[in-house]
A and B are shown apart, each in its own frame.
Chain A
Amino acid sequence: MKFTVKRDSLLKVLQKVTGIVPQRTSFEILTSIYIHTLENKIEISSTDLDIAITSSCEADIIQKGDVVINAKRFHLFIKEVFDDIIEMETSESEFVIKTSNGNYKMPLADVEKFPQIPEFSNPPIFTIEPSKLIDYIDRTSFLVSKDEMKPSITGVYFYTDGEKLYIVATDGHRLVELKAKEVQLSGKINAIIPPKSLNHLKRITEEESINIDVYFESNSVGFKINGDFISTKIISGEFPNYKEVIPKDNNKIVLVDRDEFLYALRRISLFSNPANHEVKFIFSDNLINLQASAANIGSGEEKLDAEYNGEQLTIGFNANDFSEIIKRIPSNRLLLKLNNELSATLILPEEDNSEFDIFYIMMPLRLE
């Protein structure tokens, strides 16, 4: 194998693929990257067995070949080289890097031992603009559970009902459903994706990327972004039937300015019990009264104008959990649908959105 490559393009590729290389592992081979030559480019892959990333860049291929070398050292080294073009080749059992500063040699690992990178034979299920997919992930993936006893809710659930794509997540006391109305489907998907994989997807997606193709096959999901490919194992098990818990008879309607509400919650939360950020929301005639107090911390109270004309209702919420939701509501005013102090509250945008529908469910604190 022999090729020359632009230092900057190589570095960009390495930044994408080395993010998942495990620091410590009992499989030595996972600390490596796989370099493969194509017609006029090189393709570099890495995997931690859960996620695999492949990225490529243009190169002048003088002689084709495959090598497996240590990921971290190669990446750190390329960072320290300032030549525009770097030449690399295999010589006997070593990988030789030639720069204007000198020559460097790395041992080769066994290409055969490098894990198989999953490939998808079927066409993509759907294609989406990267900015949109990342936006959907941002509005949902913060709500995954960390409860190891219930693995099925530790991921973001992507599924199709035959017509539309849904993205759902829950942490056990909050839930979000996003229905992507514009996404054209050419197949079915039913996959619980680990949030770690979605974070890596965000990391390798560049602003100039045009489209992401999403593939789904048995136990893996793949994302193709320009020349890059990331695939992930999905979480086994079934996502709970969340439709059951969507409240249907929440008929107390509140409309309130999102930003005013958000800033009020941020202020008042500073005076709440740090264990659960308990804030009392007292809904009365066109008013939301927010109250918090905690021993050794102090207390706070704010009144906010809102549209509401139901009976007075006091509900306790974790203010931080609540803020996390409302800052992700895509509208100037929020719509809250309440029932009572012990049951779920629905949080939605006031205006409909042509691109997607979204709602959040938030459970209250049990006030004594």
Chain B
Amino acid sequence: MKETKRDRIIMLVDMDAFFASCEQQEKPFLRGKPIAVGGKNIVAACSYEAKAYGVKSGMSTYEALEKCPSLIVVPGDMEKYASTSREIMKMLPDYTSEIEVFSVDEAFLDITETVKFWKNDPFNLAKDLRKRIKGRFGLNASVGISYNKLMAKLASSLAKPNGIKMIRRNNAKNLLENLPVEKLSGIGRKLKKELNALGIVTCGELARFPVTILKKLFGQYGLLLHYMAMGEDNGVVEEVVPKNRAVGHSKTIPGGIEDRNTALIYLFRLSEMVGRRVRKAGMIGKTVSITVRYEDFFTFTKQMTLSYYIESGEEIYRVVKELFMEAGGEHKIRLLGVSLSGLVKASRQIRIKENEKAIRLDRAVDAINDRYGEDTVKRASFELIRVPVRSISNFEKHPDLEL
């Protein structure tokens, strides 16, 4: 691939052992100790101290304790990690406006235009950011810097733990030559196996492998693999929304509820919260899902995909109500959840029946809440119940959580 313009400078900020570090930060007695975040059965994340014993995320808790008998297992608290993550992400606009939050603990920054404010040295910028994250949250972040997202991601994995690594275009080829293919982001265990079976172990070998065969075997992804092996990636740093991403809220109801009308009030409220967050992100979606969990832990989920995009709480609720009719009513409900997926970043199509005043009002309410905090302005029926903000699905379902 011939470069016709100047290379960009892309940075990946990646929190080190994020979930475990959050726990250690909150509970000082856990610091310096091998800990795992997870439940009775499985390790969701672990500290570097635990990693030294061979503990890995995804391992069964039993196996992890075998490897490291002193392992302390703490229950996970997604809400806490998500809110810490949001706080960290809020610092990023101080460094550039081109930010792509890649997962709960990593974000890409395109610093091509802004590096001049740090004496044209990306290291200066990276050091400053790392220092501020450490100072405010006590957490370590690793930074990878390179000429595209793929290589920045690779650089950050080489920088771990707690370091900065830069890969320049002129040394990329050497580095890739003997690098095992699975080190590249986008080549998982299954693909690695398939490539290995073709006798491809390193990126150098992948780059030299005939493209026509790769294309035959993997379709368009084959061509992409070829370029990836050469360290090429033309992805732009932008807020991308994967197709399956959802914005959702759920609420556990203390004591449970039997009355369906009360449940509908909760659902209305949750719909409004989802709508608000979707609008805040400048997105619209077309698939509405609900979750109803009963006292006996039986969980009912149902979704509907519309033929048009929506963003307002009322529109979400209209579908939610419809979906809720199909949920059984014999047991007490202990949890309700609403989410919107099939999200895209685009302006919403106004519908014929909407009136202009309602649209302007919606905007005004959003603006007030933006300025003075969530729930400064809200609907009267909400006063009956308190539903704290809690996000689901967004992070929990993220396939790329590397902890």
- Residues of chain A at the chain B interface (Cβ within 8 Å): 145-147, 149, 170, 172-175, 240, 245, 273, 275-276, 278, 295-296, 316, 318, 340, 342-344, 361, 363-368
Contacts and interface: CB of A to CB of B under 8 A. Distances in A.
A173 B352 contact: yes
Contacts of A149: 318-319, 322
A172 B306 CA distance: 12
Interface string B325-363: 000000000000000000011111111111010011000
Nearest to B358: A342
B352 A175 contact: yes
Given A149-B319, A340-B356, A343-B356, A365 B307 contact: no
Contacts of A367: 347
Contact of A366 (B238, B350, B352): B350
A152 to B, nearest CB: 13
B138 interface: no
Contacts of A147: 306-308
Contacts of A342: 350, 356, 359-360
Contacts of B309: 275-276
Q: Find the residue from B238, B282, B308, B322 having the highest chain A CB count within 10 A.
A: B308
B265 interface: no
10 closest cross-chain pairs (CB), A and B: A275-B344, A146-B307, A275-B346, A365-B347, A276-B346, A363-B350, A342-B356, A366-B348, A343-B356, A273-B346
Given A149-B319, A368-B282, A295 B236 contact: yes
B112 to A, nearest CB: 16
A365 B352 contact: no
Contacts of A364: 350
Contacts of B360: 342
Q: Find the residue from A275, A361, A365 having the highest chain B CB count within 10 A.
A: A275
Interface size on B, as a range, is 20 to 34
Interface of A is mostly: loop
A295 B238 contact: yes
A318 B348 CA distance: 10
Contacts of A174: 352
9 contacts: A275-B309, A275-B345, A295-B236, A316-B347, A342-B350, A342-B360, A363-B349, A363-B351, A365-B346
Nearest to A367: B347
Nearest to B311: A366
Contact of A363 (B236, B284, B352): B352
Interface string B300-315: 0000001111000000
B353 to A, nearest CB: 7
Interface in B234-271: 236, 238
A173 B322 CA distance: 22
Nearest to A272: B346
Given A295-B236, A296-B236, A342-B356, A366 B347 contact: yes
Nearest to B350: A363
A87 B6 CA distance: 79
Nearest to B235: A296
Given A149-B322, A367-B347, A368-B282, A344 B352 contact: yes
Contacts of A273: 344-346
B359 A366 contact: yes
B102 to A, nearest CB: 16
Contacts of A361: 352
Nearest to B354: A363
A342 to B, nearest CB: 5
A316 B354 CA distance: 16
A368 B278 CA distance: 13
Contacts of B352: 170, 172-175, 245, 344, 361, 363
Nearest to A296: B236
Q: Find the residue from B284, B309, B349, B350 having the highest chain A CB count within 10 A.
A: B349
A233 to B, nearest CB: 22
